[in-house]
């Protein structure tokens, strides 16, 4: 650890990287094993999301409780629809990789370039450079994975737009945490906080991709 610190690798980043890689590995293994293992993983994730959502919204009124049903049900059902569809394994991987690459690009470009804040009253750490960097990395990752998985033409061009959508989801969850007066939605994931903290970008992205799949547009 001390050696890594000397090379500029913070302990926080190291923990985030290790836990993020472990979570990605679990998700990819479940995807590869098939619909039932992936479905079980989604049920577990959905249950954890419910617990954290109720904790965040307990003082925000019943409307937020109802919103939580859609907020959790739509993305989890969408991911199951995507996995069970045509080119399901690759399309699911593409969907999640868009979110992962957005997070990575936004994190590193924001830290490297800095600059004006994106929404300081909601999330003081986010910058416009992070927004652009996240969209760019998603725009690069999308076509690469689409080509490897022989996916539809739309998958080649949706990377950057969905990268912006993922960051909008991140901002919404940041706003929700600010309303609740907490830093993280939970503490179950080392370096990331709660499940909602890790999946805030996946919620709108998976929902949109699921809808495109339902209407045979993808």
Distances (CA, A) of 130 to 40, 92, 195: 34, 25, 22
- Distance from first CA to last CA of the chain, Å, rounded? 45
**Adjacent-strand bridge partners of 59:** none
Residue where the block lists tokens 């600010």: 178
* pLDDT > 90 in the chain, percent: 61
Distance CA 59, CA 180 (A): 7
Residue 20, pLDDT above cutoff 90: no
DSSP states of 101-163: HHHHHHHHHHHHH--SEEETTTEEEEEHHHHHHHHHHHHHHHHHHHHHTT--THHHHSHHHHH
pLDDT at residue number 4 = 38
Mean pLDDT of the chain: 88
- C-alpha angle 46-50-51 in degrees, rounded to nearest 5: 120
pLDDT at residue number 133 = 96
Please compute the mean of the pLDDT values over residues 162-168 and round it to a whole number. Answer: 97
């Amino acid at each position: 650890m001390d050696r890594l610190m000397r090379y500029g690798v913070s302990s926080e980043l190291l923990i985030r990287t290790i836990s993020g890689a472990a979570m990605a590995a679990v998700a990819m293994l479940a995807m590869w094993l098939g619909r039932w293992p992936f479905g079980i993983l989604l049920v577990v994730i959905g249950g954890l999301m419910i617990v954290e959502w109720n904790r965040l919204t307990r003082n925000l009124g019943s409307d937020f409780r109802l919103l939580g049903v859609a907020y959790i049900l739509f993305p989890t059902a969408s991911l199951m629809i995507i996995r069970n569809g045509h080119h399901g394994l690759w399309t699911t991987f593409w969907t999640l990789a868009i979110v992962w690459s957005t997070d990575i690009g936004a994190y590193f470009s924001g830290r490297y370039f800095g600059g004006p804040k994106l929404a300081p009253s909601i999330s003081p750490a986010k910058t416009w450079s992070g927004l652009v960097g996240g969209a760019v990395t998603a725009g690069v990752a999308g076509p690469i994975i689409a080509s490897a998985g022989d996916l539809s033409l739309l998958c080649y061009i949706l990377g950057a737009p969905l990268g912006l959508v993922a960051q909008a989801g991140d901002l919404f969850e940041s706003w929700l945490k600010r309303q609740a007066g907490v830093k993280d939605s939970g503490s179950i994931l080392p370096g990331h906080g709660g499940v909602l903290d890790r999946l805030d970008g996946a919620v709108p992205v998976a929902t949109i991709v699921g809808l495109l799949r339902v209407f045979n547009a993808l």
